[in-house]
Structure 1
Amino acid sequence: MSSTVNSDLYRKLAEFPTYRAAQFESNNVIRATSSVLDHEMVTKRQSVKTYVVSGSSVVSPFSPNEPETIASMVSPSGAHLAVLRESGDSTVPGGKRRYVEIWSGNKIKASKEVTHTHGAFYTDEYLSSLSFSPSETRLVYTAEAKSEDLPKGDHFAKYRFIPQFGESYPGKKQPTLFIFDWGSQENIQGPFVSSLSYIGASPNPTLMAHAVFASEDKVFATSYEYTKDGRILGVIYCPNRLTAIWDLSLPSLTGQITKSDGSVQCQSIRLTPNERSCRSPRVLTREGQSDLLVWLSNAVGGPHASCSSLHLKDLADGIDRTLVESVWDPQPADFPGLYITTLPTYPFVQLTNGSSKSTPYVVASSIWRSRSTVLLICLDDGKVKDLTPDSDQIHYSWAVLATNGKDQVICTRSALNKPPELVLGHIGSDSTAVWRIIAEPELDDDLRQRMEGLKTSIVSIPERYPTEAIILRSQTQADAPCITLPHGGPHSTTMTGFNAWSTAFALEGYTVSMPNYTGSLGFGEKYVKKLLGQIGSLDIQDCIATVHHLVDLGISSNGAGKQFLSGGSHGGFILGHLIGQFPEVFSGAVLRNPVISLGEISTSDIPDWYYEESGLPFSAASVVTPEIYQKMFEMSPIAHIDAVVTPVMLLIGEQDKRVPNTQGINYYHALKARGKWVEMLCLKEDNHPLDSVEGQRISYEATKYLYDTVRLTKK
């Protein structure tokens, strides 16, 4: 069979805009940033649009794409716009010039070229900063320190090893906070930029990021610390790292304690304990004064993701308290705890609740079983309310983008048969929300009708609580082949939001089953911890029970060419076990950057993962002994290599820093040596998620190629 695969349907679905950020410029003017995959130019395009909400109408003036804008932020008053900009220039190191700009209306109020001041801007979820001071004359942001800022007199300085931040952070080693000052009283020299250094910081090397202004002379920031063995453990998807919230006191930026290297020394005080991984500081301002500081935390170490806690510090009296604790074992309909990586940039609303005194709340999106929902969290008593319960059975998943600080919130929502929408919510005094669609995707009539013919359901698996599966299938097609798609992590969750890959396969005539097995987030901390030491058995039994239960329900069948598998990372680990432990059940499996052998971890940015998930203690001094390797081997898919008969497709990202790509490559050779049906595709520029435009497309096409090939041979 030719390997040419028609992926036009997938491309059409994948090119719907995805909303990444939003801000209120005023109560009725919303600025939203979306991302679109461009398959012709093989790139991800970013677009910023302004929506004016007036009465029953919404107007969106034409907004051209600004490819040079890396990040932007509207000031709290709405009077200014901060822009971080990069433009190509082959004459400078790195091939890019960098600028910081402050706009007022259609005019630049202040700008500064920072090409030679620091490296690339940080704009990601974990390390970025972009915050105005209360006077709106200073801006704090995060960028990579200059590589040439090396200790003087050190002959080997440029060769010394400096750890990177791991997966998805190539070349990112030294995030540094910078202050751009363009109009404060002590600034008489025009706009200038200074980096921050710290007096009183931890004896361990401390890297500051994710900063927010609380006053003209105070910034709260998140620190990242090296482990005792000199690592920065990978941070992406891992809110259990050595992080803390710090209070940084800024001096006069033109004062005499400014160092010769252009940095400014700050007095720094750690606010949070060593045993908690604290992050995402946010400051509530009331009546012109910084009033409350809130942040998230998880336990340091243990599972890479778990139930979070929400904390609050009263900035007037200095008292802090835990508002929302971790939830251990909730009932199926009860609040399962917080599962939030970072809070929205400004997450606060203030509601009167029928009295003259306003009550402050945090609005954030969190995983609740197999959905993401919008939570309203009272800062007085910590009570949590679900603003978007699953009442219409469309099974929307939601993400909070911004609030106006009063009673409005802008969100994005989607479902497996409904591409992303931009939605405005008004929260009333009774703490309920009324929602209004601001922007929705453009679907042609044929595609809309076909997508409306799909049905989403959530099926609980008997005697395997809390395991449940999201099912997407045609409402009319019977006896369709079924794809089981377990998520990675393992402490992650498949949610009901739009996914071009799953929707495309459902429209192509497949039933897609996405099991949330024991260890998934959104079901209580008990079930996160329960999986530790039982990977390769408990998660596998949950997934095979899902397959059998769907057969019992008549949703799928055991016929030839009827059961397929797809999964990446720990999902690939599960697939390796399923085709090794149940070789006659599955007709084809596609493994993306899979974990195949737990003991082979030498190049992973998260070596602790392999120990913790195997139920073994981990410390900075841990090494894989023969005894440890034996246990890990017995828990690994490689232990079942001889039983595999299922045709296998491997998809490998050559830049993967999370799972050593030698694991997938060695699996390929082991299957090949045994005469098995196996193919492997390598994507040179992709890292662990295979989420480049090309990586996503090739993943879909290769998966469809394998399934179609197998189905033809089974006829």
Structure 2
Amino acid sequence: MLNNNLTWKTSPCSHSEWSQSDLVRGSRILYSQQWTLITDSNDHKSIRTVLPPGPCVPVSGEVLSGLSGHQLLEIWDRHGLRKCLNLTALNKHGRVYDDAQFGCLSWSECENKLLYVAEKIKNTSIEKHDGESPCRKPQQDRSVYCEDWGESLTNKSVPVICVVNLQSGSISVLQGVPHDVSPGQALWAPSSQSVFLVGWYHEPFRLGLRFCSNQRLSGDNLSVSCPRLSPDGSTLFYLQGRVFGPHNQCLSLQQVHYLYLLVVFRLLCSGFPSSLIFFVFVVASSAGFYDLPDYGSWKLLTVQKDLMVVCCSSPNTPPTLRVGFLPSAGETVTWQTLQQPVMTFDFHWTVLDVTTPPEEDNTHYSGLDFGAVLVKPSRPPIEAKTPLVVFIHGGPHSQFPAEWNCTTAGLAKLGFAVLMVNYRGSTGFGQDSILSLIGQIGSQDVKDVQTAVRTALQRDIALDPNRLAVIGGSHGGFLSCHLVGQYPEFYRACAARNPVINAATLLGTSDIVDCVGIQYSYDQIPTAEALAAMLEKSPITHAAQIKAPVLLMLGGRDRRVSPHQGLELYKALKSRASPVRLLWFPEDGHSLSRVDTQADCFLNTVLWLHQHL
């Protein structure tokens, strides 16, 4: 699901855009659907019927598109193409940002101006201003190294805020942003005379922001994101957390009354709003979710005029849209399904609560439990027990919700049980759980996964303890390789995608700061003691004990975890004649997200599991 919005005419209409992988094209395609909801004439908070949506309509999914090396800005309305501007020919900026970190697209109230973020155009003049980054140097210095913002933000270095005037066709670029700040996530303030934005410091150098957005902004110890305005435009909301530390952590919701904000500098170009408020601020909505039907995951997509749109799924049920009105006090929500999924699966799934053994309790964060989601195939073997695949998420501060997961569903369909483990440090269990893992990776998280596996085997005798495999990517690959090294007699196969193998060598090669519990500072030079501690926490120290066959899948353009990490384990295993296979994807990054790569990795993983289980 990409996005959903509601419109109101005589009846509410829900418009949604969906994403689907097309293995023939080797790409993702987008399509849209629209539903018209008929409310009761006597009770406008009661949905009487939902009209059939009609056929799915393919969409480009782009407002800004590329054609023959040119960037075109196209504005469409119900009468057709309203405006088309050749942004390349206007030569006011470089490539437009379409990422979730910096990118934005915001209409002014009068809908005559459009706000967005693009790369600053390269400075080709001889003039050079103090404090400018290498990307702004004269053309004769074009070979000077140009920093960008890391994994999935390659070639995005110096973002600028831009506004297009649709009446005149002119484009203005915001001047006066401090030279050491990269702006993004911008939107219009009320009356469209000011702009709110987030600014990330990129001095002394840039660090990868993807999944690690808790970096330094206007406050030395605060990181903020996701600016939103209240519906009446009077209040700013934003999410706030601490700088550095866990990459993903519990955030506080902050609000500031718009009238009390200060304008800190003025715009220096004509045709742009007269002033800029340099601040940040997330929409907070609380809905009365009572008596929820039996879905594992509910995600609130949007709320308009008390009508909520949610996306529901479970490990055996692909995503579906549902709508319902916010209830009055003492009432419950009546949910209406817009469209059932094409198919559901009769997998059995359950959530396991796992208790930490006393000897493995964290003395600083005592009494923390965690969980796992067990998914079993619908038709297990009649006589033999079911092989179990232990699936470990990355992050490490991420999670496996009880929602639809294509990899899990595919493995279950092929006869494997899948245990998705949310070890201590996973999100969704509170800030103490997240903080408990700092300095304890390679130990606490490894033991948690092993405890979860033993718990599942004890509670379900249909699982085969002699046919166990472990899979995961990034930190999940780190834990997978740890498990087959620390418990060499326990697992019979391993498949790891872009795993962290040696934290000591990762320190100087990743686009992010290390999270093994050593306090980070920009000017810190690693000591011998720090490097020794990182090495001790790494799977490479257990390579000599690994007996299970290991499948490695590496992205040649991975900037989060260098592919040399996986190569280090590959060479260690090859030198000992241990069974190992390496798949190399030269054009892919850390997430291995290309459609053809995803298909290749899944098929090879399944074949590896069948061969060795």
- TM-score normalised per structure 2: 0.86
- Distance in 2 (CA, whole Å) between partners of 1:123 and 1:403 is 24
Please tell me whether residue 455 in structure 1 is matched to residue 360 in structure 2. Answer: no
Which of residues 422, 425, 435 in structure 2 aligns to 1:519? 425
Question: Deviation at 1:657?
Answer: 0.8
Q: Which residue of 1 aligns with 2:490?
A: 585
Residue identity matched to 1:237: F
Query: Partner of 1:242 in structure 2?
Result: 216
What is the deviation of 1:685?
Answer: 1.8
Superposed, 1:154-173 pairs within 5 Å as 154=138, 156-173=140-157
Q: Within 2, Cα distance between the matches of 1:680 and 1:567? A: 15
Q: Which aligned pairs between 1:240-389 and structure 2 lie closer than 5 A?
A: 240-244=214-218, 273-286=219-232, 290-318=233-261, 343=282, 347=283, 362-363=284-285, 376=286, 387=289
Structure 1 segment 433-448 matched on structure 2, within 5 A: 433-443=333-343, 448=344
For residue 434 of structure 1, give the secondary structure of its aligned residue in structure 2. coil
Query: Do the aligned partners of 2:12 and 2:37 also contact (CA within 8 Å) in 1?
Result: yes
Residue 471 of structure 1, CA deviation: 0.5
Tell me the alpha carbon deviations over residues 390-437 of structure 1, each in whole angstroms, 9 at most, x when there is no partner. x54441x23333232x21222322111111112223212338543222
Distance between the aligned counterparts of 2:77 and 2:17, measured in 1? 19
In structure 2, do the counterparts of structure 1 residues 150 and 313 end up closer, same or farther at CA, with 3 Å as the change threshold? farther
Q: Structure 1 residue 680: deviation in Å?
A: 0.4
User: Is the CA contact 1:558–1:585 (under 8 Å) kept in the aligned structure 2?
Assistant: no
Q: Which stretch of the first structure deviates more once superposed, 495-504 or 145-154?
A: 145-154
What amino acid is aligned across from residue 184 of structure 2 in structure 1? A
User: Percent identity between the aligned chains?
Assistant: 26
TM-score (norm 1): 0.74
Q: Distance in 1 between matches of 2:612 and 2:488?
A: 15
**Residue of 85, 100, 103 corresponding to 2:64:** 85
Distance in 2 (CA, whole Å) between partners of 1:118 and 1:386 is 45
Cα deviation, 1:575-597, whole Å, max 9, x if unaligned, reads 11111110000010001000000
Structure 1 position 566 matched with structure 2 position 468: no
Residue 56 of structure 1 aligns to a residue in which SS? Answer: strand
**Runs of 5+ consecutive residues of structure 1 not aligned to the other structure:** 1-18, 71-83, 90-94, 184-189, 245-272, 320-341, 348-361, 364-375, 377-384
CA distance in 2, matches of 1:515, 1:461: 10
Deviation at 1:108, TM superposition (A): 3.3
| d(CA) in 1 for partners of 2:81, 2:477 | 50
1:409 aligns with 2:308: yes
Where 1:495 maps in the other structure, the secondary structure is coil
Q: C-alpha distance in 2, partners of 1:110/1:284?
A: 30
Mapped pair 1:688 → 2:581? no
Determine whether 1:21 maps to 2:14: no
Offset, 1:233: 1.3
Aligned to 1:65, the other structure's residue is in SS state strand
1:625-664 pair list within 5 angstroms: 625-664=527-566
> How far apart are the structure 2 equivalents of 1:555 and 1:193?
67
Question: Partners of 2:317 and 2:558 in 1: how far apart?
Answer: 32
Cα root mean square deviation, aligned? 2.2
Q: What's the offset of the Cα at 1:107?
A: 3.2
Question: Would you say the 8 A contact 1:206–1:225 is kept in 2?
Answer: yes
In the alignment, is residue 497 of structure 1 matched against residue 406 of structure 2?
Answer: no
Query: What is the distance in 2 between the residues matched to 1:62 and 1:47?
Result: 10
SS, match of residue 600 in structure 1: helix
Contact conserved, 2:225 with 2:238, CA < 8 A, in 1? yes
Q: Distance in 1 between matches of 2:102 and 2:33?
A: 25
Judge conservation of contact 2:212–2:247 (CA < 8 Å) in 1: yes
Retained in 2: the 8 A contact 1:491–1:519? yes
Q: Give per-residue Cα distances to partners, 1:234-258, cap 9 Å, x unaligned.
A: 11112311235xxxxxxxxxxxxxx
Shift of 1:567: 0.6
Cα distance, 1:579–1:563 mapped onto 2, change above 3 Å = same
Q: What CA distance in whole angstroms lies between the structure 2 residues aligned with 1:151 and 1:241?
A: 33
The 3 A distance-change label for structure 1 pair 147 and 435 is farther
Whether the aligned pair in 2 keeps the contact of 1:151 and 1:157 (CA below 8 Å) is no
Identify the residue that residue 481 of structure 2 maps to in structure 1: 576
Please list every run of 5 or more consecutive structure 2 residues that lacks an aligned counterpart in the other structure.
39-47, 129-137, 263-280, 358-367
Q: Does 1:38 align with 2:31?
A: no
Q: Distance in 1 between matches of 2:441 and 2:544?
A: 20
Q: What amino acid sits opposite 2:30 in the alignment?
A: Q
- Give the deviation of 1:622 after TM superposition: 1.9
Report the count of equivalent residues. 558
Cα gap change, 1:137/1:155 in structure 2, threshold over 3 Å: closer, same or farther?
A: closer
Residue of structure 1 equivalent to 2:603: 701
* Aligned-partner SS, 1:526: helix
TM-fit CA distance, 1:222: 0.9
Alpha-carbon distance, 1:279 to partner: 1.1
Letter in 1 for 2:407: W
Letter in 2 for 1:102: I
Contact 1:150 1:157 survives alignment (8 Å): no
Residue in structure 1 matching 2:101, options 126, 131, 136: 126
Q: Is residue 2:376 matched to residue 1:473? A: yes
Q: How far does the alpha carbon of each residue in 1:575-632 deviate from its partner, in whole angstroms, 9 at most, with x for none?
A: 1111111000001000100000001126644442x2xx32211100123332221111
- What amino acid is aligned across from residue 47 of structure 1 in structure 2? Y
* Residue in 2 that maps onto 1:198: 176
- Look up the SS of the partner of 1:49 in the other structure: strand
Read off the aligned partner of 2:201 and give its amino acid letter.
Answer: E
Kept in 2: contact 1:557–1:563 (CA 8 A)? no
Q: Tell me if the contact between 1:212 and 1:283 (Cα under 8 Å) persists in the aligned partners.
A: no
| Cα shift at 1:281 | 0.8
Change in CA separation of 1:596 and 1:28 when aligned onto 2, cut-off 3 Å = same
Going from structure 1 to structure 2, the CA distance change for 1:388 and 1:517 (only over 3 Å counts) comes to farther
After superposition, give the CA deviation of every residue in 1:195-232 in whole Å (9 maximum; x if it has no partner). Answer: 11225x4xx6111111111122111111111143x2x2
